Amino acid sequence: MKTPLEAPPEQVKAETGVKEPARQEAPAPVIDTSKMSKGQREALELAEASRDPLDERGSFASNLFIGKFGFDRIFPYPTQSDEDRAKGEPFLNRLREYLEANVDADEIDRTGEIPQKNIDDLFAMGAFAVKIPTQYGGLGLSQVNYGRAAQLLGSWDANLTALVSAHQSIGVPQPLLLFGTEEQKAKYLPRVARKEISAFALTEWNAGSDPANMSLRADLSEDGSEYVLNGEKLWCTNLIKAGALVVMARTAPKIVNGKERKQISAFIVDVNSPGLEIAYRCHFMGLRALYNGIVKFKDVRVPRENLIAKEGQGLKVALTTLNTGRLTIPAACVGLSKRLLEICTKWANERVQWGVPIGKHYAIAGKIAEMAGQVFAMEAITFLTSALVDRKAGDLRIETAMCKMWATEATWRIADEAMQVRGGRGYETAQSLEGRGEPGIPVERFLRDCRINMIFEGSSEIMRLFIAREALDPHLKIGGAIFNTQLPMAQRIKAMFGSGSFYSRWYPRQYTKADAGDLSKLHADLRPHIQYAARTSKKLARGLFHAMMRFGPKLEREQLLLSRFCGIATELFCISATCSFAQSKIDAGEPVDEILSLANYACRSAKLRIDHHFAGTSENADKRAYDLTQELMAGKHQHLQRGIV
Ligand SMILES: Cc1cc2nc3c(=O)[nH]c(=O)nc-3n(C[C@H](O)[C@H](O)[C@H](O)COP(=O)(O)OP(=O)(O)OC[C@H]3O[C@@H](n4cnc5c(N)ncnc54)[C@H](O)[C@@H]3O)c2cc1C
């Protein structure tokens, strides 16, 4: 039986420079789902059906997985043009001054409320409409300027960042800009630009990382003029203050290849619609002023014209929205990490223990250097990707996922280490510090607030699955049919001949000398890092191919192994972006020695992590870990539960 996991057998041509196997007449399933549970299969099928095929040229990061190192796609670094900078500067200056003078982030954290005046003032200055075109009442600024705004917000107050970001990056503006009709844009964009907060409602009790499990229903009315929504959504950020929501709901299933396929559709829903109830406000470890809650729908009637894109395209709307929307969190992480670095550097100088400032002790110096290197790399990848988005430089979903995953994890480590550097003062609240006469430095708040970044808008685990899926794509298109036990043998043999000729050319090339391209405009100290990245990209491609040969269709289950390949590619992306960024700083007249010491440290540190990932691909405890967890889940090892309350 065929699965609906079809992808056109598009050819991976330009980038590999290898003649491709002949196009197959019938589309071949690319992932073997035959050994999967029903729920797992449905989740995958829905994700696959909502996934746009990768751009044939790939992107800088996606090509790393096939041993193709196209440094010229990210070098010279796409620095912000003077014109774009000048357009954003007045707003960014106003925002910076406003935050410093008028937003008391600790008070917001303590009370769990953002003063309405702050929200009104931010609306008035256009902070909720940074990318909305001016014709709809927005500022019409670029992704880079939006990222710079998120960086400012992230360095000051995570609650405001979440309010502004959930509204613009995933709430009504972004999906409407991407998929909305002219009528929808004309009706809703002016509202959400200047007066109404919006939100994005996808998650439910049984549908977190797995939207296929969604149960909220949208049934077409008899006359076809409306949808009737019934169900509940959980953890909807901004809900408590929102005027309009983007809601994902199940619509009537479709029959594909004789089988029923679930359909998810996206709607704009006015919060004041009869039958819609804000049922509960949720509270969290951090983000104490998040206006997040549960929303119930009881026969809520939504006009048909509020459907975003076509029926059944809801998940595609969500995934595409997030492809760019996902860049806001890393930009905010850059801001927060810079702030934490500033706090730590100052404290490392001021605090004297054992006769010297603590920054003179190797243990503390190591932490601060690591922070600095990661801040630089984080800024490099985030603003590189943002600039490429502005330049519409192809398919950047892997880059944005890497930015989200890497920046949120690095920021968590930085916040954790910042707490260690500040010692007991790091653990003490800002209010308590001030109460006894010390500066109220809120490391404790920053740590609480940034933890969620690794969970929402795609958890780190889901980002790795997403990156791995795209990384395997060229191989699945060419060689996927060979491994697929669901296909008739004749089709598998045919695929073997076709892809065999591809691999007989591609594979030996992964052992030839790597070409990093023309590096004459790169500082001599940075060149070895780029040559290393080019070489290591081939090693990565070989490793991934060997893993495919070894595990075949079961590779999809080897999440820990795949996560190491994702980690290697992400670190290579960081090294490459860091060097490109460093050169742009040198060219702009920044002190060469300072830039080089930072970039060299960031690259060396990334190489150590890459070594660690590679070591884990050949020697690891993955299978044992899996088996042990299954034992625990089956109720074994009861002794581990003894002696506790
Ligand atoms: C503060 C906050 C704000 C939020 N805001 C919004 C919002 O505005 N709109 C909205 O729709 N949702 C929102 N969410 C929901 C958020 O996006 C989800 O929490 C997130 O998608 C993860 O879902 P889950 O919590 O149900 O975890 P689960 O999906 O139950 O996952 C639990 C753990 O298992 C891992 N996991 C799950 N599946 C796999 C897999 N296949 N392979 C490997 N690991 C896996 C996850 O990564 C996670 O670590 C918010 C949540 C919070 C806490």
How many Å lie between the centroid of ligand 1 and the Cα of residue 461? Answer: 10
pLDDT digits (tens, 9 = 90+) for 572-608: 999 999 999 999 999 999 999 999 999 999 999 999 9
642: left (phi over 0), alpha (psi -120 to 50) or beta: beta
How many Å lie between the centroid of ligand 1 and the Cα of residue 456? Answer: 6
How many Å lie between the centroid of ligand 1 and the Cα of residue 434? Answer: 36
Return the pLDDT at 605.
98
How many Å lie between the centroid of ligand 1 and the Cα of residue 458? Answer: 7
Return the pLDDT at 261.
85
Q: Pick the residue whose CA is nearest to atom 50 on ligand 1.
A: 235
pLDDT digits (tens, 9 = 90+) for 194-236: 999 999 999 999 999 998 899 999 999 999 999 999 999 999 9
Q: Name the residue of 459, 460, 633 to mutate for ligand 1: max ligand atoms within 8 A of Cβ.
A: 459
pLDDT digits (tens, 9 = 90+) for 381-420: 999 999 999 999 988 999 999 999 999 999 999 999 999 9
The ligand 1 atom at the shortest distance from the C-alpha of residue 282 is 1
The ligand 1 atom at the shortest distance from the C-alpha of residue 207 is 26
Helix intervals (H) in 391-442: 397-422, 424-427, 430-435
Measured distance CA(149)–CA(166) in Å, rounded: 14
The residues pairing with 201 across neighbouring beta strands, listed in sequence order, are: 247
Q: Name the residue of 209, 322, 451, 558 to mutate for ligand 1: max ligand atoms within 8 A of Cβ.
A: 209
Q: What is the mean pLDDT of the chain?
A: 91
Q: Pick the residue whose CA is nearest to atom 30 on ligand 1.
A: 208
Measured distance CA(266)–CA(203) in Å, rounded: 13
How many Å lie between the centroid of ligand 1 and the Cα of residue 644? Answer: 29
Residue 424, number of CB atoms within 10 A of its CB: 7
How many Å lie between the centroid of ligand 1 and the Cα of residue 452? Answer: 10
Confidence of residue 462 (pLDDT cuts 50, 70, 90): very high
The ligand 1 atom at the shortest distance from the C-alpha of residue 239 is 8
What are the backbone angles phi and psi of residue 430, rounded to the nearest 5°?
-60, -40
pLDDT digits (tens, 9 = 90+) for 240-284: 999 999 999 999 999 888 888 889 999 999 999 999 999 999 999
Q: Within a 13 Å sphere around the CA of 204, how many CA atoms are in the beta-carbon half?
A: 20
The catalytic residue positions are 457
Q: Which residues line ligand 1 (CB under 6 A)?
A: 166, 199-203, 208-209, 235-237, 284, 287, 290, 292, 452, 455-456, 459, 461-462, 465, 559
Measured distance CA(186)–CA(111) in Å, rounded: 37
pLDDT digits (tens, 9 = 90+) for 99-135: 999 999 999 999 999 999 999 999 999 999 999 999 9
What are the backbone angles phi and psi of residue 25, rounded to the nearest 5°?
-65, -50
Return the pLDDT at 17.
35
Q: Pick the residue whose CA is nearest to atom 31 on ligand 1.
A: 209
Asked if residue 76 has a cis previous peptide bond (ω within 30° of 0), the answer is: yes
HEC readout, 65-86: CCCCCCHHHCCCCCCCCHHHHH
- Cα 495 to chain centroid distance, Å, stands at 34
pLDDT digits (tens, 9 = 90+) for 156-189: 999 999 999 999 999 999 999 999 999 999 999 9
The ligand 1 atom at the shortest distance from the C-alpha of residue 462 is 47
pTM of the model: 0.92
The ligand 1 atom at the shortest distance from the C-alpha of residue 199 is 8
Domains of the chain: 9-76+461-619 (no CATH), 82-194 (1.10.540.10), 197-312 (2.40.110.10), 326-458 (1.20.140.10)
Q: Pick the residue whose CA is nearest to atom 5 on ligand 1.
A: 237
Q: Does residue 474 register a pLDDT over 90?
A: no
Return the pLDDT at 22.
35
Strands (E), 271-387: 276-281, 293-303, 307-308, 352-353, 356-357
Q: Does residue 516 register a pLDDT over 80?
A: yes
Q: Pick the residue whose CA is nearest to atom 2 on ligand 1.
A: 235
How many Å lie between the centroid of ligand 1 and the Cα of residue 66? Answer: 30
Confidence of residue 31 (pLDDT cuts 50, 70, 90): low
Of the candidates 558, 545, 563, the residue with the CA atom closest to the CA atom of residue 468: 563
**Averaged over 293-320, what is the pLDDT?**
96
